């Protein structure tokens, strides 16, 4: 039995908290974060091929060697030594330059899908090791769920599931460049430093109010995203327990303990923001959803 294609759903992420706690010896920022995957997915279809191609229907994301999906495929074949290829089609739904790790989700989904397509039997540890060479958020994108993440994204601790809630996410009209956001942080600093340890303990206690009380994003102050305050205000006016930017921006989200309030917030945002989503927390990373086996005769 030979698999000819697989389809993978790869979830986006939100930062329930993000703090910059120092600088590492290599010059990168030392981060402390609580990260959460959500049920907003990139859909990735992989087909066996003798070559390597990527199609992004309806997306303006460049298709070149810098694309994380192509990097992931190249890294997978290099690691496994397989003399094979893949045709990749990614239906992007996660906003770009949003701080939601859409590119990392693509890379993670490709690694998981290729592992299935070619029956490579790589462990999660091996996939994460490959992913770390592609991007800082890729190991978390592979693991998914709720995690305390430190360093540059390389130190992960899986946490119990986030307390049940709804997320309302809105993408402003302009995205944020991650390098530029960190450069501004180096110049401006931040008045916000969330208590990630308190948030971890609140998650373990299944206390959503305490999770929200400990939330925050040290990069929000210096992201340069001008629409963040107004989006946060709309979310809070409609019952959000907390509202903040995710990652280095520019997407903003609110946390709700009531679905009706969450839907009201979504309705309030939609006239002004084209990309708005109602989401729930998820408990894992990319998953294969379609398997199409084909029996082939031996020649």
Question: Which residues are known catalytic residues?
Answer: 13, 137
Distances (CA, A) of 135 to 16, 68, 71, 97: 20, 8, 10, 15
3-state secondary structure the chain: CEEEEEEEEEEEEEEEEEEEEEECCCCCEEEEEEEEEEEEEEEEEEEEECCEEEECCCCCCCCCCCCHHHHHHHHHHHHHCCCCEEEEEEECCCCCCCCCCHHHHHHHHHHHHHHHHCCCCCCHHHHHHHHHCCCCCHHHHHHCCEEEEEECCCEEEECCCCCCCEEEEEECCCCCCHHHHHHHHHHHCCCCCCCHHHHHHHHHCCCHHHHHHCCEECCHHHCCCCCHHHHHHHHHHCCCCEEEECCCCCCEEEEECCHHHHHHHHHHHCCCCCEEEEECECCCCCEEEEEEEECCCCC
Distance from C-alpha of 206 to C-alpha of 177, rounded to nearest angstrom? 34
């Amino acid at each position: 039995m030979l698999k000819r294609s697989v389809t993978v759903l790869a979830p986006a992420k939100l930062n329930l908290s993000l703090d910059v706690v120092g600088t590492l010896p290599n010059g990168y920022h030392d981060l402390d974060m609580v990260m959460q995957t959500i049920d907003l997915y990139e859909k990735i279809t992989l087909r066996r091929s003798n070559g390597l191609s990527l199609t992004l229907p309806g997306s303006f994301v460049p298709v070149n060697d810098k694309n994380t999906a192509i990097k992931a495929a190249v890294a997978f074949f290099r690691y496994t030594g397989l003399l094979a290829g893949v045709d990749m089609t990614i239906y992007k739904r996660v906003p770009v330059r949003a701080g939601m790790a859409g590119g990392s989700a693509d890379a993670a989904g490709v690694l998981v899908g290729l592992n299935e397509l070619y029956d490579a039997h790589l462990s999660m540890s091996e996939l994460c090791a490959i992913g770390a060479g592609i991007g800082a958020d890729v190991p978390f994108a592979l693991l998914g769920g709720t995690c305390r993440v430190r360093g540059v994204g390389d130190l992960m601790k899986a946490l119990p599931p986030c307390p049940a809630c709804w997320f309302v996410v809105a993408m402003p009209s302009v995205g944020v460049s991650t390098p530029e956001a960190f450069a501004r942080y180096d110049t401006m600093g931040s008045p916000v430093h969330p208590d990630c340890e308190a948030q971890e303990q609140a998650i373990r206690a299944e206390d959503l109010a305490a999770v929200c009380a400990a939330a925050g994003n040290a990069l929000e102050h210096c992201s340069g995203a001008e629409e963040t305050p107004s989006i946060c205000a709309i979310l809070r006016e409609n019952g959000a327990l907390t509202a903040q930017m995710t990652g280095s921006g520019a997407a903003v989200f609110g946390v709700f303990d009531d679905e009706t309030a969450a839907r009201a917030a979504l309705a309030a945002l939609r006239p002004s923001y084209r990309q708005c989503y109602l989401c729930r927390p998820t408990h894992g990373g990319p998953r294969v959803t379609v398997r199409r086996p084909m029996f082939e005769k031996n020649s």
